[in-house]
Chains A and B, each alone.
Chain A
Amino acid sequence: MNLSVVGINFRTTPVALRERLSFSADAMPAALAHLSRQLPRAELLLLSTCNRTELYAAAPDESVSCDLLIDLLLIGIDGADQALRASFYRKERLEALAHFITVASSLDSMIVGETEILGQVKRAYDAAVASETVGRVLDPLVQRVFKVAKRVRAETDISRGRVSVGSVAVELAEEVFEDLSSKTVMIVGAGEVGEQTLKHLVDKGVKEALVLNRSVERGRALADQYGGTAVAFDRLEEYLARADIVITSTGAPHCIIHADAMRRAVLNRHQRPVFLIDLAVPRDVEPAVGDLDNVYLYNIDDLQKVADDNLALRQASVDAARRIIEEEVAEAAALFRAGTLGAVMKRIDEKAERIAESEFTRAFAKQTVAPIPGTCDRCRDEIRHMLRRAMGKMTADTKKALNEAAREGRWDEYADVVERLLGLTPKDPGDE
């Protein structure tokens, strides 16, 4: 059994080439059906995201080469030129397995530790299950990959902390407030980053969104978009006490939230904490506001720094994550080998039985045995069993050596030699 992967990703291929080899969710069943028709004996999984397209194949022999997989992937692709072909990476056996786990664990992602990739791998697997292109080899392997990816996330800091300004703001809001669903968020101004941050918070299910903008129409449009309430800009101070999270992103050339106003707001809030996110340049919130008790003020640089620190923390966790992956690859490889080992053992037994049966049939066909007086049915059966036992004893040492090689991690070299020495040929598709 051979596991192979071919693919392109954001490191090897620019987006202009990547986009030619991208498969949407709708196109996935047809692509898998096409590949499966070409490779009926192989199990297939096609992963296509904005950052990568990879084809995983588990085949019973070496006939499904990486080049063949690339050729099949590129059939019908517009502009499938040499540049695109050359940007493919090819990995086989343990290397392919390690790559699969690395991808699912988000170590190979553009933003290390991002969590989206595991969902994408799950969707790819679901599509393969629906198209019936995964089976007894890829099925347990993918389950194993999911398990390792979850372990990596749980036991390292690889996914800790957000790495974009908007998501960092949400993360910090969650560190201040336990439950955002009971909180009121107020956005002052309608800058692009501010709107993104508001979207993140609304996605988290905040109780109420208030939108204050100098342009009433723009404010109302934004409020409608996010299910919020538009409020007149001159009522800012009045609403300050009501908001638990305040996002400011106006184009005002001066501060619009001053320390005195904020102090009054905090008193009216009975000293409950308030989280201020100032995304404007020049700043909308007077810096002295950050010195007030129970007020947590963050400007765009603060958030960017948190994002950078989080990214550095993730990078620092890569070694620990790789150690876990190495452990798991070794374990998964043993299981993979066990599955493959069983298949080879079966082929040895089948070949031995075929030889015994053919010799038995030949002997009786030539009538070298049949004319002997007293050759009854019982004797025929005994002769057949004797031949089988002899063949079994002949192959026993070979199988024992294979088992020992598998235990010692030298399975691959032994399997090749045994297959060649015994002349084991892959089964025909019809045998399955």
Chain B
Amino acid sequence: MTAEVLLMVVACGLYVAASGLAVHRLVRAAPSRGRGMAPLLSAAAVCLVAVLALRGLRLERIPAFGIFEALVWYGLSVTLAYLCMAVRHDTRGVSGILLPFVTVVVIGSLAGMHTQVVADAQIQTAWLGLHIAAAFVGYGMFTLESFLAIAYLIQDRNLKRKRFGRVFHRLPPLEALDQLMHEQIGFAFLMFSLSIVLGVFLTHRFGWGTLWTTDPKVAGAAATWLVYAILFHLRLTADRHGRRMAMVALAGLACVLVTFLGVHLMTSSIHDFISPK
């Protein structure tokens, strides 16, 4: 068993444990229980960083090609976005909704771990690294935004139906969730926009021409950008709040997932810059 595999197995174990604690905290345990989740999650994030670093050193390229690396980056970026938010705010039970999803993503990535891919050496530049990093920061924060929206819609539904079970009491208040979403969208949209600008720049730099306009991943990213651009405008320019903003954020999650999983699993994209070995 290589160090990469070992670290991935440890990371998956840590994610399962953190998810278990988070869900337990949300639905079953008393309010004071469930601590220790953040250290588990931090350790899992460290494992993922180590996996990517080892893989990059071994393959001598940026470790962001193929479904495995993409999903690890995605899981890592969502985790880091959540941890950054949890440090500054009382996120209470949101982790109970978010972490099972991240755990499935990270465990799911194992399926593609041994698919060896060869990346084009020509494109291994710092600009590409920046493009990828900005995109994943954006994807991570967008995903977090969408899960906050799910929590918002759960709270909205509970308040409308006048049902106040444990989940209601363990999730943050409605306005707090709205405020957290409001805070996420600005930086997330900025980073994702930067990623797109860098993508266009790289296209010109390497003379890839118009082939890119028909690439499904680019189309997915454009759709994602558009949805979040609408959300960005409504939230920060028109100062809109409430349920509809949460619905738009949820539509954004659908775009993120289609861009990520749909394109990788159902179609082929030149965006991967890869060929099977």
Contact = CB atoms under 8 A, between A and B. Distances in A.
Interface stretch (B46-54, B101-109, B168-176): B168-176
Interface string A248-265: 000000000000000000
Given A154-B31, A157-B30, A178 B162 contact: no
Contacts of A176: 159, 173-175
Contacts of A305: 162
B242 A174 contact: no
B264 interface: no
A309 B164 contact: yes
A139 B179 CA distance: 46
A298 B244 CA distance: 22
B242 A296 contact: no
Nearest to A173: B173
B32 interface: yes
Contacts of B173: 174-178
A175 to B, nearest CB: 5
A419 interface: no
A178 B175 contact: yes
Given A175-B155, A293-B243, A306 B162 contact: yes
A215 interface: no
Contacts of B159: 172, 175-176, 296
Interface stretch (A5-13, A87-95, A267-275, A329-337): A267-275
A298 B175 CA distance: 18
Contacts of A306: 162, 164
Contacts of B241: 270-273, 294
A273 B164 contact: no
Contacts, number: 68
A410 to B, nearest CB: 34
Determine which residue in B179, B238, B242, B245 has the highest number of CB atoms from chain A within 10 A of its CB, and name it: B242
A226 to B, nearest CB: 23
Interface string A294-307: 10101000100110
A206 B241 CA distance: 21
Contacts of B168: 175
A309 B32 CA distance: 22
A178 B160 contact: no
A119 B82 CA distance: 38
A60 to B, nearest CB: 38
Interface string A65-89: 0000000000000000000000000
Nearest to A306: B164
Interface in B221-248: 238-245
Determine which residue in A177, A178, A296 has the highest number of CB atoms from chain B within 10 A of its CB, and name it: A178
A302 B175 contact: no
B240 A154 contact: no
B207 to A, nearest CB: 47
A80 B57 CA distance: 89
A259 to B, nearest CB: 15
A161 B33 CA distance: 18
- How many of chain B's residues touch chain A, expressed as a range? 20 to 34
Contacts of B176: 178
A229 interface: no
A178 B30 CA distance: 21
A310 to B, nearest CB: 8
Contacts of A302: 162
Interface in A119-173: 154-157, 160-161, 172
A146 B168 CA distance: 29
B116 to A, nearest CB: 50
A34 B58 CA distance: 84
Contacts of B31: 154
A160 B164 CA distance: 11
A174 B172 CA distance: 10
A242 to B, nearest CB: 16
A5 B230 CA distance: 68
Interface string B50-81: 00000000000000000000000000000000
A271 B240 contact: yes
B162 A175 contact: no
B24 to A, nearest CB: 13
A174 B164 CA distance: 13
B242 A155 contact: no
A180 B180 CA distance: 17
A176 B174 CA distance: 5
Contacts of A290: 160
A264 to B, nearest CB: 15
Contacts of B244: 271, 293
A332 B241 CA distance: 53
A298 B160 CA distance: 9
A155 B32 CA distance: 7
A271 B242 contact: yes
A305 B245 CA distance: 31
Determine which residue in A174, A270, A305 has the highest number of CB atoms from chain B within 10 A of its CB, and name it: A270
23 contacts: A155-B30, A156-B30, A157-B30, A160-B169, A161-B169, A175-B159, A175-B164, A176-B173, A177-B173, A177-B174, A178-B172, A178-B173, A178-B175, A179-B175, A270-B238, A270-B240, A270-B241, A271-B245, A273-B178, A293-B244, A294-B241, A302-B162, A305-B162
Interface of A: 154-157, 160-161, 172, 174-179, 270-273, 290, 293-294, 296, 298, 302, 305-306, 309-310
Given A271-B243, A293-B242, 9 more contacts: A177-B174, A177-B175, A178-B172, A270-B240, A272-B175, A272-B242, A273-B174, A294-B243, A309-B164
Top-6 shortest CB links A-B: A271-B242, A178-B176, A294-B242, A155-B30, A154-B32, A178-B173
